[in-house]
A and B are shown apart, each in its own frame.
Chain A
Amino acid sequence: MATASEVEGGVRNTSPGVRSFLRRNLGPDTDGYLFVLPSIVMVLCLIVYPFGLAVYFSMSDAFIGEPMEFIGLENFVYIFEEDDIFLLVIRNTILFAVISVVCKVVLGLLCALLLQRITHLKRFLRGAMLLPFVAPTALTTLGWWLILDPTYSHINWILQNTFPFTLFEIRDYQFLGEPTLALGSVIFVNIWRGLPFFIITILAGLMSIPDHLYEAADIDGASTWQKFWKITLPLLKPVLAIIILFSTIFTLADFNIVYVLTRGGPMNETHLFATYSFTLGILNHEVGLGAAISLFLFPMMVLFVIFLLRMVRRDSAYEL
């Protein structure tokens, strides 16, 4: 068993000068630093180094298998001035993220409020609700790919062969072939997949709101709407801000759904930053351009994260 003097920090074998320097700068217990060291090394190797490399690639004419040269901001100028697909990518990504996140918030809130009121089969329903979220994305998206198949869409079959749709002579919809429908399809699948995360998290937030607030509101004669706007929503704001933050990050970086469903088509109309960056950087070998496109998202994300975190901090000071 180590003695008290032995365990006093991780500095006992160091010289007095070094010991006092470490204590002054790191505190009395240096063991903690040793324990977090593997994590720091991993972050440096897996996040900082690739990020730095991506910055370097984005300012080079890197091409797979070829020597590269530093070209400054030429890639960024190219994607803005000459690459018209990139402008489509910006439009698609904004539409994809905004529509998806807004729908997930609204539907998530609605479903969570309904789930909260259910008394029978509660556990089963909550578990079942999570299925789209826990199943592997590539697998479930393949299922949607078959449902939305250009030639034999199940949805088209239902629309053309079942009552009452048969009354309207509905045409074949090209869910993955017509640009607007294709973008709508990938947004729909993203909402379908991400909704359970919102429902479960909002439900947890709803359950943490003390009942006595509603009881007090009832005594004051508040209506259901008033209780929702004055109690439920304000107290859910921090939870909503965090899930919106996470969901926006994941949605902006989404790759699987678009890659499996449309591979960015038709005519590049459904490319997002991640898929277009992969297409240019890996499939087309233009690593420099691919890196420039993927980095474009970074400053936008930083601003968005700062904005939301400030909002969360402000709301955490909310006084009852």
Chain B
Amino acid sequence: MTKSKNGPGTELLGSDSSRRGFLKGTAAVTGGLAGILATGVAPAVGQERELKMLVNSHFVPAADAELKRQLEEFGKAEGVKVRFDRVAHLQLPAVLAGEVQGQKGHDIISTRDGNAHLYSKHLVNVDDIYEKIGAAGGGWTNNEFGKGRDGSQKTIPWYFISFPIAIRTDLVAEIGENLPDTWDDVLRIGTKLKAKGHPVGIQLSHGADSNWILRGMLWSWGGKMVEADSKTVAINSKEAIDCMKFVASLYKDAMQPEVLAWDDRNNNVCLASGKCSMILNPVSAYRSAVRDEALIQGTDRPVHQVINHIMPPKGPAGRHMAAAHQSVGIWKFSKNVDIAKKFLEYHFAPANAEKHLQASAGYNQPLLKSNALHPLYASNSKYYFAPFIGWYTHALGWPGVPTAAAQTIWDQYLLPDAAAAAATGKATPEEAIKKLEKQMTRIYKRFNK
């Protein structure tokens, strides 16, 4: 074996000249990559126009399939490459936050509720297409939704996801009760049915459903998180404390501790499997039962036949419920703003909007007036609630508008945590509300600056 001139251990490196070649090559590659990273511009050969869209995975997958089809059809017609990405709905806030922080990512993004306000500085103004789409669709049912901090339209309202009671009508009939109309009815019927092994299922956990339903309950008791000015924290009230007391009773008498660990899938499973007597949920639980042909335990009867949807219950201050309001926006950092706007016009054109609504099997409840009484909702008695639930449904931040602060409080699951603490006795209702007020005040202070 020849001894290396460079000392022991260097034989494997080969000759000195190849070492230098290696170093030069490495330096060239590193320099090239550094250049691309520093400028943020790919070499000309790698540049091709690509329209990228990000949505959260739809609870009715056919809706995503239809949206993807439209995007591909549009891309073909316009001669642009397209990409359709989906993430789980609870992951979407993290992905949006990452894209804003990095100023890189998709062109068109699915947003919700207060995102337009939260990311106001980072979203393109879409007033022009908002007007056009609204005019073609008979106007918007809610003109406050999708506004940025400067009052301009930052996102196009897409659809809302309502929360009726999804209930096992056969179980209610078995105990000789009528369908519940008030929260007291829910507690009374739920207590009886829990004793028979069929509890009520309302998440008190870090899930979207929990956030919506608890807001609806709070409003039904006359409580509110914030005043109509969207700036003044108003959670610490007798009504809010009474609501928390009711949540504690409902948890103790009509629910099981599993609701503390539920995500947005568990209540669907609980109803479709025959365990839960009632949940507050969009039609996806029913749709899953239909799709899976789930049977009532010990019988040949499909459970979907005995599930129906009724209006959310009335509380002392009336019937109120929150809903997820979905919208779509375009990032300012997008290099395809013009083509992205064109796609949104294409997607919201009446024929395509109709196809998307049909594909969602009624899950997407329209925010365009022309579709509010869509024949789909008359096609199945399980959907009869749909055209009317909007009367009782409010967006995040009600009686104010969906703001960045309201969205942040939603994202932090502060209300579900307060309700869970009150329900489990970890805090008294008064303590839970006081702590929530403190947490909310800090966040509102930041955004009210």
A interface list, Cβ under 8 A from B? 1-2, 4, 6-7, 29, 31, 34-35, 38, 41, 61, 63-65, 82, 149-152, 172, 174, 176-178, 182, 262-268, 282-285, 287
Contact = CB atoms under 8 A, between A and B. Distances in A.
Contacts of A266: 205, 260-261, 420
A182 B261 contact: yes
A7 B5 contact: yes
Given A31-B6, A150-B260, A266-B205, 5 more contacts: A151-B266, A172-B256, A177-B258, A266-B260, A267-B417
B228 interface: no
Contact of B206 (A7, A29, A264): A264
The 3 closest A-B pairs by CB, nearest first: A177-B261, A150-B258, A266-B260
Contact of B15 (A2, A178, A262, A287): A2
A282 B17 contact: no
A78 to B, nearest CB: 9
A163 to B, nearest CB: 22
B258 A151 contact: yes
A30 to B, nearest CB: 11
Contacts of B446: 61, 63
A2 B16 contact: yes
Contact of B101 (A41, A65, A82, A174): A65
Output the residue of B100, B260, B261 with the most chain A CB within 10 A. B261
Interface string B270-305: 100101000000000000000000000000000000
Contacts, number: 101
Nearest to A7: B16
Output the residue of B16, B121, B426 with the most chain A CB within 10 A. B16
Contacts of A268: 417
Given A65-B118, A65-B121, A283 B93 contact: yes
Interface string B3-35: 001110000000111010001001000100000
Contacts of A283: 93-94, 97, 411-412
A162 to B, nearest CB: 19
B30 A38 contact: yes
Interface residues of B, number: 45
Contact of A151 (B269, B408, B412, B424): B269
Contacts of A284: 408, 411-412
A283 B15 CA distance: 53
Interface of B: 5-7, 15-17, 19, 23, 26, 30, 93-94, 97-98, 100-101, 118-119, 121-122, 205-206, 256-263, 266, 269-270, 273, 275, 408, 411-412, 417, 420-421, 424, 426, 438, 446
Contact of B19 (A31, A38, A41, A63): A31
Nearest to A41: B30
B100 A38 contact: no
A215 B47 CA distance: 71
B261 A265 contact: yes
Contact of A285 (B97, B257, B262, B424): B97
Given A2-B16, A64-B101, A284-B412, A29 B7 contact: yes
B105 to A, nearest CB: 13
Given A150-B261, A151-B266, A282-B97, A65 B206 contact: no
Contact of A152 (B15, B100, B205, B269): B269
Contact of B119 (A4, A65, A267): A65
20 contacts: A4-B5, A7-B16, A29-B7, A64-B101, A65-B101, A150-B260, A151-B266, A151-B273, A152-B273, A174-B258, A174-B260, A176-B261, A177-B262, A182-B261, A263-B263, A265-B206, A267-B417, A267-B426, A283-B97, A285-B118
A6 B30 CA distance: 26
A176 B207 CA distance: 14
B273 to A, nearest CB: 7
B16 A6 contact: yes
A1 B259 CA distance: 75
Output the residue of A1, A31, A178, A266 with the most chain B CB within 10 A. A266
